[in-house]
Structure 1
Amino acid sequence: MEFQNLIKNRFSVRSFKNTAIEPAKINMILEAGRLAPSAVNFQPWHFIVVQQTENLKKIKAIYPREWITSAPVLIIACSDHSKSWKRRLDGKDSADIDISIAVDHMTLQAVEIGLGTCWVCNFDAKKCSELFNIPEHIEPVVILPLGYPDISAPEKKRKPLEEITHWETF
């Protein structure tokens, strides 16, 4: 798929068909995240693949929206703050930026192979760490539900380029 079309075809999917995802497709998505760039190439991420029924049900305890249970696979994308690059001038931690780049690669890969997903960041991260045995120095940042979309893409509403672009200075 041409890159511009890939971007245009990506949308937040919140309804999935009751169809299993082939392991090869899950691995392609994970590989896309693995290959993402990160600050100083530190790659401070971990991905937890959740597909067993009892573990999928645990997600409702940290994100109580009914739609998420229709996804046959969830990936919990985590940042390892002990391994991320910190900017010397002010100590800014690049972990959130790095995991965002990796997750974006994963979402675009999902679209290219016919799957849908939706970034979920509004969840109980502390409870997530408890339920999925995530070490204290690793932060769950995004839950990425994956599946075959059971809905059509809505029309995207985006600001015009001239409203958000500034040349040379703000």
Structure 2
Amino acid sequence: MSFLELTKQRYSVRKYKAKPVEREKLLQVLEAARNAPSACNFQPWHFIVLTEEKIKAKVAETYPRDWFKEAPVVIVACGDHSASWKRADGKDHCDVDLGIAIEHMTLAAAELGLGTCWVCAFDAKRCHEILELPAHLEVIALLPLGYPEEETSPEKKRKRLEEIVTWK
């Protein structure tokens, strides 16, 4: 499948099969993140892979949605602002770098027949406490991962190219 077809196929999965994700596939998804570009190649990221039910249940308290609890894996994407590149005007690119790495993971997952959903509306402070993370790491996003219950992706509404591009 072409890259453009892959971007069209990927969607936010909110219903997962009760099927474990093979370690080889998890490693491929994580390798995609590792290979992501970052500002000045600083790679200010750290990923925590949750597969044990007990810790997943605790983290699920920070985003209490039933579908989230169904995912067999949750990847916690963390950023290290002390290790990220800052532009001359002070703009910190940690979140941008993490965004790129997370998107690499979502696309790699889709290519492998897995589904994900980028979760940002969670209690990041509580998640940080539950995982007993060091102060220099910020939890940026949660990425539930597993086999989608539905086999087909829903139709996505997208703006026309003319609405989002200006040529000069």
TM-score by shorter chain over 0.5: yes
Q: Does 1:128 align with 2:124?
A: no
Q: Does 1:40 align with 2:31?
A: no
Where does residue 20 of structure 1 map in the other structure? 20
After TM superposition, give the deviation of residue 60 of structure 1 in Å.
Answer: 2.2
Q: Does 1:80 align with 2:80?
A: yes
Letter in 1 for 2:149: D
Alignment RMSD (CA, Å): 0.7
Letter in 2 for 1:126: K
- In structure 2, how many angstroms separate the alpha carbons of the residues matched to 1:125 and 1:156? 28
After TM superposition, give the deviation of residue 61 of structure 1 in Å.
Answer: 1.5
TM-score, reference length from structure 2:
0.98
Where does residue 69 of structure 2 map in the other structure? 69
TM-score, reference length from structure 1:
0.97
Q: Secondary structure at the match of 1:121?
A: coil
Following superposition of structure 1 onto structure 2, how do residues 1-170 of structure 1 map, counting pairs within 5 Å?
1-88=1-88, 90-151=89-150, 152-168=152-168
| Count of residue pairs the alignment pairs up | 167
Question: Gaps (5+ residues) in structure 2?
Answer: none
- In structure 1, how many angstroms separate the alpha carbons of the residues matched to 2:13 and 2:32? 19
Question: Gaps (5+ residues) in structure 1?
Answer: none
Letter in 2 for 1:155: E
After superposition, the C-alpha distances for 1:126-163 in whole angstroms (9 at most, x for unaligned) are: 00110001111111001000000002311110010001
After TM superposition, give the deviation of residue 81 of structure 1 in Å.
Answer: 0.5
Letter in 2 for 1:133: E
Identity of aligned residues (%): 56
After superposition, the C-alpha distances for 1:100-123 in whole angstroms (9 at most, x for unaligned) are: 000000000000000000000011
